[in-house]
Chain A
Amino acid sequence: MAVLPIRIFPDPFLKEKAAPVEGVTAEVAAFIDDLLETMRSSPGGVGIAAPQVGMPRRIVIVDVSAHRRGSQEQNHGLLVLINPEILAMGGKQIVREGCMSVPDYTANVQRAQWVLVDALGRDGERRIIESIGFEAVAIQHEMDHLDGVLFLDRVVSV
């Protein structure tokens, strides 16, 4: 396992659309381990997307269970989402977000209160996850990275 260097905006890579993962091979599994270690190495880091480490593939990891507020809400613990798709979303919440790729800046972003996501897990099995609150925010933020969208594109107030 290895901690991978994080791409920092204005790195143009962060504005690129990532491609789907063709299959959860040993190589992909090893990359996911590195991605997880990279996320854990950042203080307070509760999510990461493959493009943030320069890998243009549709993989995100979210784990809000160690976050002060996230831990008090319903959450799935560690979530590895491969080729995730949002099937449905609803409600509104405004959350202050920061991003490892945009250091020293936080701003308020409007997100859906809940999301229903279809994704492959690291075992390659397809599953549907319903998420609410902080975890849902983390999923939306990370999935945005797969389409080259940063939270800066969604700021509602500073």
Chain B
Amino acid sequence: MGHFSLSVVGRDRPGIVAEVSRVLFELGCNIEDSTCTILSGQFAMILVIAHAKFSSASEIDPFFDAVRKSMKLTVSLHTLKDDEISREKGFEGRPHIISVYGADRPGIVYSVARELARLNVNVTDLNTQVVGAKDRPVYMMVLEVDIPESVDMKELERDFDKIRKELSVSISVRPIESLEL
């Protein structure tokens, strides 16, 4: 079973998912994992697909030429090695949501991400948007992260305090409480 990453980006319009999934269905590809969203009017799809026979992305790539043209899509495919794919979580930690927002300025994502990386906090989901009035844009970032047990939350807060001051942003960290039922 060969696994491949597939990314598709193009001006949003109805039918992109239908066309991309039609190509995959006709090829006999399984969609293993996928996420799709609209970013500034661009529809973006990222998928992990699997095929029983194909072993190289270059064998699949030409089948997307027709939709590249008809739907004006940028489609890219890469081969994933068996040891690169996993359904297991790679890193342990308690799930948290971090929201960061403030007047738009360079370095918000980097400052927060650098701090998280230093503490070995794994980012599992990240969403950023520019919101608010046109003349006073607000940068809004929401991260889902896994914070290792070893991280001292007080230290994390102290480091975030520096970022809060330097960039004049609000940062809040909340545990994601899930109910196992």
Contact = CB atoms under 8 A, between A and B. Distances in A.
A99 B181 contact: yes
B176 A151 contact: no
Interface size band for A:
20 to 34
A96 B175 CA distance: 11
B176 A44 contact: no
Interface of A: 42-48, 64, 67-70, 95-100, 104, 106, 134, 137-138, 141-142, 151
A67 B181 CA distance: 11
Interface string B141-171: 0000000000000000000000000000000
Contacts, number: 47
Contacts of A42: 180
9 contacts: A45-B180, A46-B181, A48-B181, A96-B178, A98-B179, A99-B181, A104-B87, A134-B177, A141-B179
B179 A97 contact: yes
Interface residues of B, number: 8
| Consensus secondary structure, chain A interface | mixed
Interface centre among B87, B176, B178 (most CB of A within 10 A): B178
A99 B175 CA distance: 19
